[in-house]
Structure 1
Amino acid sequence: MTSEQDTYTPTDLLIREHGKRCTTHTLLTKDGYELTLHRLINPIGLRGMKQTILMHHGLLGSSADWILLGPEKSLPYYLSTLGYDVWFANARGNRYSQRHQNTMLNSTKYYDFSWQEIGLYDLPAIIDYVRRQTNEPLNFIGHSMGATALLVLLSSVPKYNDFLRMAILLGPLVYMKNIKGPLRIISLMTEPPLEDFFKILGNGAFVPSRKLPDNLLKRFCLNEVLLCGNPLFFMSGVPRNHTQWSEYFTKLLFQHIPAGGSTKTFLHYAQLVKSGKFHKFGEVDQEFPLKEVTTPVALISSSDDWLASIPDLVRLYINIFNPIEHYIIRDRNISHTDFVWGPNANKLVFPKVIELLQTTSQVVGKQANDV
């Protein structure tokens, strides 16, 4: 798979291959990181568009994650057809956002960030930029780490609640007391000194070689080829539906995932696993004040998700100020990554996302639903 990973098709070209068009935008955060945004060109034109949507990828992901299912099944294309103005974010450290004004990419200093900085610096810069282009409140769709970063921002800088119409969080990683998989074991290594943690996962970029250490593979691999071959699946679990993937889709997936990130991001999540709290990096007693999150928030979870467990999301639901709905997909083989590009996401996940966007005023106060 190494050669496939090295010859990926960038998001903008992949969109073009799908018969769509996009524009590419570059912006600068307050702490000097250069970020890339992609914006779908809506076929009906700007005058006919309804609302703006900002989509943020999850762990080790990028803007490409949202369109890997192709022109017929990807969520952004559905939304664009319905008249939404769709933007894709790229967090610092992924392959589209790997420049800094003063720091070299190959330095440890460049990767001295977690999802906390993505929430405090990346998202404000992105939201401000998109609002300057559109001049209206945004709808936010965040997967995994994208959801984490948003809740960091909204709880820490409450004025940004006024800039969002609603947020739909897919498998959000916030409270992580009940997770499964290797990250639970790795969380035991979060006490200083952290030499063992960084020795295993890298001190800077997360597993920069894309090959996990043999001692981890022997302990957790369980003879799963995909689990052994991809750091994201190693942490989040192999999608149970992967037998449905075509050879083309498998190659495409391994070209784009992982797209890059920092080891400190995983260390911060490991701290949450150990503490059971949603707190600042290295400061267990400094929890993010979720009651400051006044944006209407909808949660979508799955009983098959290793990382975003239902009990942890129920806890999140009761701790935010304005929850809309917690929609639970039970026993349908939707793993942590399947919310975005699972083979059945277009049937089990995306219709609910669209329903929430279209009927926000009607669903406020609704109770949890099961699929």
Structure 2
Amino acid sequence: MIEKMNEFGRDVTNFFERIGDRVKALLNGNRRLNHDIVIHSEAIPEGYKVVYQTERMSSVPSEQFRNQEPDPPAFLSTPQLAALHGKKVESHVISTSDGYLLTLHRIDVDDCMNETIGTVLLHHGLLGSSADWILLGANKSLPYLLSSMGYDVWMINARGNYYSRGHIEMKVDCEEYWSFSFHEMGIYDIPAALDYIRKVKNSTEEINFIGHSMGAAALLVLLSTQPRYNEYFRIAILLAPMVYMNNIKGPLKSNFTLLKELGERELLPQRKIPHDIARRYCKGLIIFCTNPLFFFSGLPEYTQWTDEFISSLLYHVPAGGSINTIKHYQQMSASGKFHKFGDMFSEYALSEVTVPIAMISSSEDWLATLPDVLKLFYTIRVPIDNFVIHGKKISHTEFVWGATADRLIFPRVFEYLEHGTNYTSFRNEIKLN
């Protein structure tokens, strides 16, 4: 079995090595992949020159992705990948109150729709980006499905990832720039996105929030520390929320020694776990064990994936993040509490969260374990539902791009969005019938 797995790994590696420099010609010469960049003057402070790269952000991919032939789903930015799917995505560059520059991606609404049925803001998970949401392609990706239903879909990119690497004053390679965790994403990034969306739409309508993993934690940070933002939301849907971490598995669990080997500012700028560390903590295909995201979250169920999908996936993830974010989660795994960075006694006041919340979790998830998600469900004030997926091989990352996500997860998301706070009564009616 191990030999077959290693053989698969060699096959994928050979696939990467077959891909050559023609991808650059594809990106540089294909005008179909151009997209709109929308920068409103009020979003960026006066006097600051924004440099926005439309192809890839500045991070350099690992060596296995060099000298590759064009495989269209890989090597493309979120807007370019969307264009390949026949969709159009706008890029909106905004600034936070503490000076970080973020990119919001918005799915262009179909011209034939007279009006939308609501607004949805998607927040990616740990080490992720907006690209995560559309890797499944034109017919299965959650943002596209929501857009086709009539929703105005926005995707946030948290500070430090490919699309949000900039600051009004600080350089990205300075230590102070990386002094953040999901706490700052909650108190600065999400509010900036919310205020900007409301201004662009000239509307105070309530927004629907879908947060995966770290995105769920960032939302709860915001709502518990700045309760006025509870009024901005209609409903929050948390996919595999990384909030309580007492029962997590893998190298993320209270392993403070490991962190010293993974960097001091940005987490692994080279985007690759050293082989000796990977083999020390991870058993399985080295191509996944050396990927920082899968190293922490567990190996994915890859047997239904094509080589092309794997190449695209491993090029887009991880999308970047700070070492402090990992430290913050390790601190919470040690304390068993949902608290501020470096202070286990400063717990976030979840009693301040009044937004109705629905959750989806899986029995195979290393990071958002069933006991921890259940603890969160019984802690929040307005729980709607805790949908648990048992025995379907849904790991932590596959809530967004898993081969069965469009069948096991997204339909439940649609039900939550449609019925909102009435979902519980709707569910009971279904059972009675």
- Kindly report which structure 2 residues correspond to 1:201-212, keeping only aligned pairs within 5 A, or say none: 201-212=262-273
Based on CA coordinates, which of the two structures has the bigger radius of gyration? 2
Task: Say if 1:222 and 1:307 are closer, same or farther in 2 by CA, change over 3 A.
Answer: same
Letter in 1 for 2:280: R
Show the counterpart of 1:161.
230
Note if 1:353 corresponds to 2:413: yes
Please report how far the alpha carbon of residue 124 of structure 1 lies from its aligned counterpart in structure 2 after TM superposition: 0.6
Show the counterpart of 1:315.
375
The gaps in structure 2 that reach 5 residues or longer are: 1-15, 17-61, 67-73
Task: Say if 1:274 and 1:365 are closer, same or farther in 2 by CA, change over 3 A.
Answer: farther
Show the counterpart of 1:151.
220
Show the counterpart of 1:192.
none
2:401 to 338, 341, 356: 341
The gaps in structure 1 that reach 5 residues or longer are: 190-195
Note if 1:129 corresponds to 2:196: yes
Deviating more after overlay: 15-24 vs 90-99: 15-24
Letter in 1 for 2:410: F
Show the counterpart of 1:182.
251
Show the counterpart of 1:118.
185
SS in 2 for 1:180: coil
Distance in 2 (CA, whole Å) between partners of 1:353 and 1:314 is: 18
Please report how far the alpha carbon of residue 199 of structure 1 lies from its aligned counterpart in structure 2 after TM superposition: 2.8
- Kindly report which structure 2 residues correspond to 1:224-263, keeping only aligned pairs within 5 A, or say none: 224-240=285-301, 242-263=302-323
Distance in 1 (CA, whole Å) between partners of 2:200 and 2:383 is: 28
Show the counterpart of 2:360.
300
Distance in 2 (CA, whole Å) between partners of 1:332 and 1:198 is: 32
Deviating more after overlay: 77-86 vs 225-234: 225-234
SS in 2 for 1:316: helix
1:84 to 142, 151, 157: 151
Please report how far the alpha carbon of residue 188 of structure 1 lies from its aligned counterpart in structure 2 after TM superposition: 3.9
Distance in 1 (CA, whole Å) between partners of 2:173 and 2:183 is: 21
Please report how far the alpha carbon of residue 244 of structure 1 lies from its aligned counterpart in structure 2 after TM superposition: 1.1
Using the size of structure 2 for normalisation, the TM-score is 0.80
Is this contact kept in 1: 2:109–2:152, CA < 8 A?
A: yes
Is this contact kept in 1: 2:415–2:423, CA < 8 A?
A: no
Task: Say if 1:26 and 1:45 are closer, same or farther in 2 by CA, change over 3 A.
Answer: farther
Deviating more after overlay: 114-123 vs 103-112: 103-112
Please report how far the alpha carbon of residue 197 of structure 1 lies from its aligned counterpart in structure 2 after TM superposition: 5.1
Note if 1:265 corresponds to 2:322: no
Deviation readout 1:297-346 (Å, 9 max, x if unpaired): 00000001000001001100111111110000010000000000000000
Show the counterpart of 1:193.
none
Distance in 2 (CA, whole Å) between partners of 1:303 and 1:278 is: 21
SS in 1 for 2:177: coil
Show the counterpart of 1:75.
142
Please report how far the alpha carbon of residue 258 of structure 1 lies from its aligned counterpart in structure 2 after TM superposition: 0.5
Please report how far the alpha carbon of residue 78 of structure 1 lies from its aligned counterpart in structure 2 after TM superposition: 0.7
Is this contact kept in 2: 1:4–1:251, CA < 8 A?
A: no
2:279 to 200, 212, 218: 218
Identity of counterpart residues, as a percentage?
A: 49
Letter in 1 for 2:404: N
Distance in 2 (CA, whole Å) between partners of 1:5 and 1:37 is: 26
1:42 to 109, 112, 128: 109
Task: Say if 1:266 and 1:45 are closer, same or farther in 2 by CA, change over 3 A.
Answer: farther
Deviation readout 1:47-99 (Å, 9 max, x if unpaired): 32100000000011000000000001101111111000000000000000000
Distance in 1 (CA, whole Å) between partners of 2:427 and 2:371 is: 15
Larger RCO, structures 1/2 (Cα 8 Å, 6+ apart): 1
- Kindly report which structure 2 residues correspond to 1:360-371, keeping only aligned pairs within 5 A, or say none: 360-364=420-424
Letter in 2 for 1:310: L
Letter in 1 for 2:219: L
Is this contact kept in 1: 2:284–2:299, CA < 8 A?
A: no
Letter in 2 for 1:348: L
Is this contact kept in 2: 1:323–1:365, CA < 8 A?
A: no
Distance in 2 (CA, whole Å) between partners of 1:200 and 1:354 is: 42
Note if 1:200 corresponds to 2:261: yes
How many residues are treated as equivalent by the alignment? 360
Distance in 1 (CA, whole Å) between partners of 2:311 and 2:275 is: 23
Distance in 1 (CA, whole Å) between partners of 2:284 and 2:117 is: 48
Distance in 1 (CA, whole Å) between partners of 2:362 and 2:372 is: 12
Distance in 2 (CA, whole Å) between partners of 1:292 and 1:339 is: 27
Using the size of structure 1 for normalisation, the TM-score is 0.93
Note if 1:141 corresponds to 2:202: no
Distance in 2 (CA, whole Å) between partners of 1:293 and 1:318 is: 13
SS in 2 for 1:359: helix
Note if 1:102 corresponds to 2:169: yes
